[in-house]
Structure 1
Amino acid sequence: MANQAVKPQTVEPRFIDLFTPKLITVLREGYGLASLRADALAGLTVAIVALPLSMAIAIASGVTPDRGLYTAIAGGFVVSALGGSRFQIGGPAGAFIVLVAATVQAHGVDGLILATILSGLILLAIGFLRLGTFIKYIPYPVTVGFTCGIAVIIFASQIKELLGLTLAGPEPGPLLPKLQALGAALPSLNIAACGLALLTIGIIVAIRRFRPHWPVMVIAVAAASFLGWLFGLPVETIGTRFGGIPQNMPLPHLPEVSLAKIEAVLPSALSFALLGSIESLLSAVVADSMSGRRHRSNCELVAQGAANIVSGLFGGICVTGTIARTATNVRAGARGPLSGMLHAVFLLGFMLLAAPLASFIPLAALGGVLAVVAWNMAEKHAFAVLVRASRGDAVVLLATFLLTVFRDLTEGILVGFGLSALLFLHRMAQAVSVEQTSNEVAPPIAELDVADRVADVSRKAYDVALATDPDVVAYRISGAFFFGAAAGVAAALERIGEHPKAYVIDFAAVPVLDSTAAATIDGFVRQAQRRGARVYLTGARPTVRRILLQHGLRPPIVRFRSDLQDGVVAAHDALSGNRAKVASQA
């Protein structure tokens, strides 16, 4: 019994702790003038990025561009003020274009607004019932599949604007009929619109390569707008199609509400809530990986719910956490949620002061912006890796992707998740075996003693290295490491308070590992690499090691060793050699 790990008692977090907005946490920690200046600069940077993007997403969704701005201003402010992430930026997202456009076509703008408010109520319920944890169980191939599918649909929705085509009738929603209608309209191709679209894309690509910190989208759209005005090019603009945008925010009001209307839009509201919860939590995870912080998932969902209600009351569309704008916020040096709140304030200022200038923006330029967004959204490398990783992951990925593109986003997610569950059951059946074991009790994956210092493993061979080298820390993962356990493992690894110079992660007790788990380890390794720490992966079975290698976890990013002892000794020797080299140079 002496060799058994002593598990620490876990204290159930209080309700108030789970739902305290990060804004209050940041203010309690102490918030000074320097932090305010940093947040103001970050908020201005994000607002400049969000300005053309919000209008472009709204237009692509089948509504007027001002509704995209209302969404970013009203919804974005609430997301940052009440959210569980320090750096989350809320607003209209490209992922919703397909769903919003279909809802507008079926139920009109009032139906869309009602669905948005209902989705907010659903998100509030999901958050307060603490169901945010289950959202994290969406498998990696499913997220990659529907993200790539959405990217394809967004690009297809912009072909008309990119080529300046004139259709004989309304543009169809489904992809194949849409492509047929666009093909029939090719004789109406507008050379000027094509030129402005290519110019916009070229400017964005060039500036991102040579001046990545510049506000590329605003510069590209401004340049296209100026050239279109200067030469009087025959292209459609926001002014010619929509009559410009207003210079004020509307007063909050409810759309027409009836039981029949609620029943009609409820499926759309459920789709908005499902996609919004997935998208917002993915964005929060990206912010965590970039900043080293941890978000409160259920608090974030409550904020997303409140933001959708407020956005709907002001005539906006669906709000969610936006990955690109959130990443821009972190890179711009934000200190806390005030940057997101100020981003909304700056957008309001832009709308009040510069609304007349928006009339000159060519729709081809906004189409170019969304074409770049679609290209960046498509996880091309991850898609290629998953197709090669295994037949099971490839089937899940392709089923989700194809159903998203040709059928329905919600259907794609549900079918992908169902296939992943069946695949997991198959893998677990293959992993069952009868082995002679010692009296050592391995911790089950549900309890996740990942962060405990190998107390339940024989320490004789490497006790000396661990005892004499505080810069080497070893961890052990036990049990099936799949998408259902990935969130818990990630949380355990993120809770590591110390920052050693070498990590040793033992996979000897992991019988099966899937692509979601490999992506989780890859994220941890990248964080360690940014801190200059070495990572050793030990004891991985051939099947587990193959999946890790397929996801890019290979030397020199990580180093593989046969068992935990070899890993600890190798880490200790490498660090000792580095110290000796530094000492000799000194």
Structure 2
Amino acid sequence: MAHHLSVSLQRLRAEWAPSIPRELLAGAVATFALIPEVIAFSFVAGVDPSVGLFASFVISLVIAFVGGRPAMVSAAAGSVALVAAPLVQSHGLGYLLAAGLLAGLVQLVFGLLKLGVLMRFVSSSVRTGFVNALAVLIFAAQLPHLQGQGAATWAMLALGLAIIYGLPWLGGVLRLPALSAVPSPLICVVALTLLAQGLGVQLPTVADLGKLPDSLPVFGWPGVPLSLDTLRIILLPALAIAMVGLLESVLTAAVVDEMTDTPSDKNRECAGLGVANIAASLFGGIAGCGMIGQAVGNVKYGGRGRLSTLFAGVFLLILMVALKDWVSRVPVIALVAIMVMVSASTFDWKSLSALVRHPRLSSAVMLATVVVTIATHNLAAGVAVGVLLSGVFFAFKVSRMLAVQVHDDDATGMRTWRVTGQVFFASADAFIEAFDVLGAEGRAVVIDVTHAHFWDITAVAALDKVAERLRHHGCTVQVLGLNEASGVLIDRMAADKG
């Protein structure tokens, strides 16, 4: 009994907090990385900053307990904001909250039905393109804070980046672990805030980004009528929010899996995201999903368990409500420096050299995903194009592996065609064209498919077409070597025709 209890406690600690100080500090880094993005995304969606900030608190709190990927940060996200904006403009916040509620139900059902397996169809090239596009978008989102700014802003940015990158490097060179005990992004925020206040430098602050909340979120049902008309209004936006959120969360979980070299339960993550979005909508917040930049920052600075995710949300609420006066004085440029670091950490720099080494089609898929995502600011569109191209290119490559060789037996006059490879919709025409029907007129013919596989009805129809053409030209046709799966498919086709 004692042994089982000890094992359970060890497992619980590994899942929640392998190192409590590191979890708390990493969560704090993620919080400061959240603030500028969540406020900016709130404006994109056309809602008050408090709507995005409350949502981020609730989502982080809930997903820490019910999500499938420890150390992953989820909050109000730009991809969801882009989808939500038209609904807010046309019908108002109440309908957005109702759409978030419905989106959460869809995501919950998606996870319960274990449909997370569908994400296996997203190739590594698409995932790399997704990550790189997000890194570029994160960096691009910081440029408005830098345009038209004076020398003081640029000097503060340079100092902030020097602190973020320099302190860990200096700690390693001087062998002083104390320099890396506290994450350098937190030191950056404190140092730049004190410096700006001490020197009296006039810089844009967090208070300039928008009105911060001054109370706790309140539970309440979205203020919309329960009617079919409401369902008609919110159905398509809710489905779009659900799909974009699922896609971004599962791909973000895959990135964290790779960074930590640990697996995660994608179906649980889908269901957990649904529960979190339902809760956020009931507390007056916009729906959200996984935040890859903040998740990367969290993991980079030591977050490995659920406690870092939980603390990111709790600390956000503390900063926004209890410490609002202090947070409002933080220079925006300090948060920009953190986001520049997040962008650089998110980007897969090895993928640049891999463009030359990898097959051209794989590189084309990755670049297409990046270009479409950046051009549309729509993650779902970029990934959809990448997945589509991956499928087309895969079908193209497999179709080229089909080979049909002909052999004539001079003694018997029999002609044999030996088919090797995969016969399906993309290779069916090549399969038909490989048979010289006129040259075999009046002869006994064998089609040997021992080393071939017929995958779909298009392939079976192609085999039928070849046999019919040969018989039309006076040939006796024998098909040899059908494997069991191909034979079953052909029998079904014959039964359907009968």
Same fold by TM-score greater than 0.5: yes
The answer to whether the aligner puts 1:415 opposite 2:415 as a matched pair is: no
| Equivalent residue runs for 1:213-362 within 5 Å | 213-246=181-214, 248-257=215-224, 263=232, 266-289=235-258, 293-323=262-292, 326=295, 337-338=306-307, 340-362=309-331
SS at match of 1:320: strand
Mapped to 2, the partners of 1:199 and 1:64 lie a distance apart of 32
Mapped to 2, the partners of 1:352 and 1:372 lie a distance apart of 27
Mapped to 2, the partners of 1:215 and 1:275 lie a distance apart of 32
Deviation at 1:128, TM superposition (A): 1.5
Please tell me the residue identity of whatever aligns with 1:273. A
| Equivalent residue runs for 1:79-90 within 5 Å | 79-90=63-74
Considering only aligned residues, what root-mean-square deviation do their CA atoms show, in Å? 3.8
8 Å contact from structure 1 (residues 96, 272) kept in 2? yes
Q: Tell me, which stretches of 5 or more residues in structure 1 are unaligned?
A: 1-24, 166-188, 436-478, 481-586
8 Å contact from structure 1 (residues 94, 154) kept in 2? no
Mapped to 2, the partners of 1:336 and 1:358 lie a distance apart of 26
8 Å contact from structure 1 (residues 95, 150) kept in 2? no
Query: Which segment drifts farther, 333-342 or 383-392?
Result: 333-342
Inter-CA distance 228–331: structure 2 relative to 1 (3 Å threshold): closer
- The match for 1:150 is 134
8 Å contact from structure 2 (residues 369, 386) kept in 1? yes
Deviation at 1:304, TM superposition (A): 0.9
Please tell me the residue identity of whatever aligns with 2:247. I
Superposed CA offset, 1:331-361 (max 9, x none): 7777853554355444444444322101102
- The match for 1:533 is none
8 Å contact from structure 2 (residues 369, 383) kept in 1? yes
Please tell me the residue identity of whatever aligns with 1:413. V
Q: Tell me, which stretches of 5 or more residues in structure 2 are unaligned?
A: 172-179, 406-451, 454-498
The answer to whether the aligner puts 1:128 opposite 2:112 as a matched pair is: yes
Inter-CA distance 294–158: structure 2 relative to 1 (3 Å threshold): closer
Superposed CA offset, 1:93-151 (max 9, x none): 56667556777677765555444333322211211121100012211222222332233
Mapped to 2, the partners of 1:77 and 1:140 lie a distance apart of 30
Inter-CA distance 76–197: structure 2 relative to 1 (3 Å threshold): same
Inter-CA distance 335–143: structure 2 relative to 1 (3 Å threshold): closer
SS at match of 1:315: coil
Deviation at 1:75, TM superposition (A): 0.8
Mapped to 2, the partners of 1:202 and 1:97 lie a distance apart of 33
| Equivalent residue runs for 1:139-538 within 5 Å | 139-163=123-147, 165=148, 189-211=149-171, 212-246=180-214, 248-257=215-224, 263=232, 266-289=235-258, 293-323=262-292, 326=295, 337-338=306-307, 340-386=309-355, 388-407=357-376, 408-432=378-402
Please tell me the residue identity of whatever aligns with 1:420. S
8 Å contact from structure 1 (residues 388, 394) kept in 2? no
The answer to whether the aligner puts 1:29 opposite 2:8 as a matched pair is: yes
Please tell me the residue identity of whatever aligns with 2:157. A
Inter-CA distance 250–425: structure 2 relative to 1 (3 Å threshold): same
Deviation at 1:365, TM superposition (A): 2.7
Inter-CA distance 228–329: structure 2 relative to 1 (3 Å threshold): closer
Inter-CA distance 96–218: structure 2 relative to 1 (3 Å threshold): farther
Mapped to 1, the partners of 2:301 and 2:208 lie a distance apart of 35
Deviation at 1:393, TM superposition (A): 1.6
8 Å contact from structure 2 (residues 30, 73) kept in 1? no
Mapped to 2, the partners of 1:383 and 1:401 lie a distance apart of 12
Deviation at 1:420, TM superposition (A): 0.8
Q: How many residues align?
A: 389
Match of 1:52 among 32, 39, 43: 32
Mapped to 2, the partners of 1:100 and 1:387 lie a distance apart of 39
Query: Which segment drifts farther, 344-353 or 125-134?
Result: 344-353
8 Å contact from structure 1 (residues 54, 68) kept in 2? no
Mapped to 1, the partners of 2:142 and 2:301 lie a distance apart of 29
Mapped to 2, the partners of 1:214 and 1:158 lie a distance apart of 25
Higher relative CO (CA 8 A, sep ≥ 6), structure 1 or 2? 2
Superposed CA offset, 1:469-499 (max 9, x none): xxxxxxxxxx99xxxxxxxxxxxxxxxxxxx
Superposed CA offset, 1:493-548 (max 9, x none): xxxxxxxxxxxxxxxxxxxxxxxxxxxxxxxxxxxxxxxxxxxxxxxxxxxxxxxx
TM-score, normalised to structure 2, is 0.66
TM-score, normalised to structure 1, is 0.57
Superposed CA offset, 1:295-330 (max 9, x none): 222112100111112123223344334456556666
8 Å contact from structure 1 (residues 86, 335) kept in 2? yes
Please tell me the residue identity of whatever aligns with 2:38. A
Deviation at 1:377, TM superposition (A): 2.2
Please tell me the residue identity of whatever aligns with 2:151. I
Mapped to 2, the partners of 1:50 and 1:256 lie a distance apart of 32
Mapped to 2, the partners of 1:346 and 1:52 lie a distance apart of 9
Inter-CA distance 257–196: structure 2 relative to 1 (3 Å threshold): farther
Mapped to 1, the partners of 2:368 and 2:211 lie a distance apart of 42
Identical pairs, percent: 29
Query: Which segment drifts farther, 224-233 or 318-327?
Result: 318-327
